[in-house]
Each structure stands twice: as C-alpha cells, then as structure tokens.
Amino acid sequence: MNMAKKVIITEKPSVAIEFAKVMQQNSAEWKGSQDIHIKNLYTIWVFRYIFACLVGFAPIKKESYDYDVYFHICTAIVLFIGSIFYAIYFENSQYQEEMKEKLFQKLVKIFGKDIVFGLGEISSYEYNNSMLFNKKVTFISADDRFSGVYNETPFVISEDSVTHNKRYKGGKSEEYMLFKGVAMHFKMKKQIKSRVLIYSKNLFNKVPQGYEKVEFEYEKFNKKYNVYVQKSQNVNGQIEARYLFNTAFMDRFMQLQTSFRVSKMQCSIYEGSMLILLSTNKDLFEINPLFKKVDDINQYNYLFDEFASVLSFIDVLNLASKTGL
C-alpha cells in the first residue's frame, strides 16, 4: 500500500467510509446514465447508420460516369462501419463528461466541503510571474479543474496546456508548447522573500540570471531535483530555502510526483504563492469508458492517491507556517 492510501486510511478513516456511502447511494443513478448512452447506440443512431450506408450507394454526378457496384458497396461498408465508430466515440465522450460532473462533484466533497470540480483557473499572470518559462505565456487551454480551500490554504489543480505564440512580420505566427500536464497553485501562509525554483533532474530549463543553486542534506531529494534561489543583498535566500525545505516538505513534494505518475516536475515559490507543474501527455482525472463498470471502485484509486498526496502536501505547508519552519 502506498503512502497516499495510508494517509487516507490510517489518518482519515472516515474518508474511505464516506466514499463507500457515496458509491452505494449513487451507483443506481450512474448505472442508469450508462445504460441510456449504450441504448442510444442501437436506437437513435440506427437511422444514421442506415443513412451513412445509403450515401455510399449514391451515384456520383459526373459526365461519362459508369456506376461501379463494387466500388459503391465498399464505400457503403466503410461509411457504415465509420458511423458506428463515430457513434461509440460520441456517446462515450458524452457519457464521460456527464459522469465527471455527477461523480467528481460528489467524490471531491469527501475530501473537504470547500473543494469543487470544474471551477478555478491558473492565470497567465501566475505562469509568467513564476519565472519557470523562458518565453511568455500567451494562451492556456484548461481541461479538468479542481479548486477550493483545504486547511485554510486556497488551491487550484488544473489540467492545462500552456503555449507561447510568436508572431512574425506578414501576419505569420508559430506556436510553442511550453507545458502540458497538471498544474497546482497554492497560496502560502509562510511567505519567504526570496524566489525559489525547483526542477527535476531530467528537465533542462535555462535558469534565469541572478539565481544560485541550493544543496540540502537530504541526498534522496538532491538526486532528483535541482533547486535555485534568487540572489539578494537584503535577504539570505539559502537560509530561507532551508527553513521551508525540511524533510517533511521534501518527502511530500516527491510523493506528489509519485502519485501523479509523472517523470518531469518543476516548481516556483514566489510572492506568497507556489506553482507546481507536473508534465505529462496523459489525460488524467479520466473515468472508465462507456462499456466498463461504473461502480468499479478500483478505477477511483488513482483519484484517492492524487488528492491524498495534494492534501498531505498542503498539511505540510500549513504546519510550516505555524511552526516557523
């Protein structure tokens, strides 16, 4: 059993109990929604299958055209099969979006009454102010989002695609993907004056000028991440970084990367905020497709792991603000 599950089961056993209650109370409704979308495939879509097939037999209006029966049969079959695949794709997409709204709204409430699904955003100002990118963020596309307040700490979790659009003379433009994955923004009670940047070792970001590297006594953390702090004549950034980066903080930071199953991670601490970016091309926060069981509890384990790691991390941030670490 991993650390994330231990946090839920041993420290917050009520969470597991509440989860079971939600599943029991709502499984019939969720199964009903699933049955409707499956039924649509062999009811309202049937006429579209037939229409697609008939289109394949329609003659082409062209001079000197000889009707080729074999060609039109093949075309009709392709269109018929294509319409079936499209119908499955459409109903599955509609079903998953519908279930996200119904299911996630209820499940996230288990972790805290002030947590909601589908609201909250991380603005381009926060991305640009983080100093994590060498290019300016010009466009953000957000997919699944969670936001709220936990342990007196406001936060946003958003599945974002972040791009930079470079314009040339003559109206041409070129788009650069700066980041794709899960972004987390926290408002910190413990405000340090120095800016801190953290990169996993497999990221080759160009560190802004005026930053120096920080080494900690925790070798496990040092092997996975490079940490840089902004130089200043008025503030000793090395000391400030060590106040925040205690063993509990570094353990929970590494657990975030493990729970979200990503290889690349970067973070910026600035102006009372923390922005963490977990790079991945996978679609996270997805539920089982249309033809799999909606009440299969195993499909939600990842959601438990991810949320438990985030909330445990917030607990550490909150503890640091109270103890002065």
Q: Domain boundary residue among 111, 139, 162?
A: 111
Higher pLDDT, 169 or 92: 92
User: Where is mean pLDDT largest: 217-226, 240-249, 302-311?
Assistant: 217-226
Higher pLDDT, 200 or 8: 200
Kindly state whether residues 177 and 267 are assigned to the same domain.
yes
Q: Domain boundary residue among 84, 111, 138?
A: 111
Kindly state whether residues 258 and 295 are assigned to the same domain.
yes
For the chain, the average pLDDT equals 81
Kindly state whether residues 178 and 48 are assigned to the same domain.
no
Does residue 57 lie within any of the structural domains?
Answer: yes
Does residue 16 lie within any of the structural domains?
Answer: no
Kindly state whether residues 156 and 291 are assigned to the same domain.
yes
Encode pLDDT of 230-249 as tens digits: 887 666 777 778 878 888 88
Tokens of 125: 């100002």
Residue pair 211/272 in contact (Cβ under 8 Å)? The answer is: no
Does residue 14 lie within any of the structural domains?
Answer: no
Tokens of 313: 């991390």
Does residue 101 lie within any of the structural domains?
Answer: yes
Residue pair 262/279 in contact (Cβ under 8 Å)? The answer is: yes
3-state secondary structure of 18: helix
**Which residue bears the tokens 């940047």?**
197
Tokens of 316: 């550490």
Range of the domain at 129: 115-323
Residue 202, phi then psi, degrees to nearest 5: -85, 10
State the pLDDT confidence band at 15, using cuts at 50, 70 and 90. low
In this prediction, residue 325 carries a pLDDT of 41
Kindly state whether residues 291 and 204 are assigned to the same domain.
yes
In this prediction, residue 7 carries a pLDDT of 38
Buried b (16+ CB within 10 A) or exposed e, 219-258: eebeebbbbbbbeeeeeebeebbeebbbebbbbbbbbbbe
Q: Is the pLDDT of residue 97 over 80?
A: yes
What's the pTM?
Answer: 0.77
Rounded CA-CA distance 323/106 in Å is 34
The upper half-sphere exposure of residue 175, i.e. CA atoms within 13 Å in the direction of its Cβ, equals 8
Does residue 87 lie within any of the structural domains?
Answer: yes
Kindly state whether residues 155 and 287 are assigned to the same domain.
yes
Rounded CA-CA distance 87/93 in Å is 10
Q: Is the pLDDT of residue 155 over 80?
A: yes
Encode pLDDT of 258-287 as tens digits: 888 888 899 999 888 999 999 888 777 777
Kindly state whether residues 45 and 148 are assigned to the same domain.
no
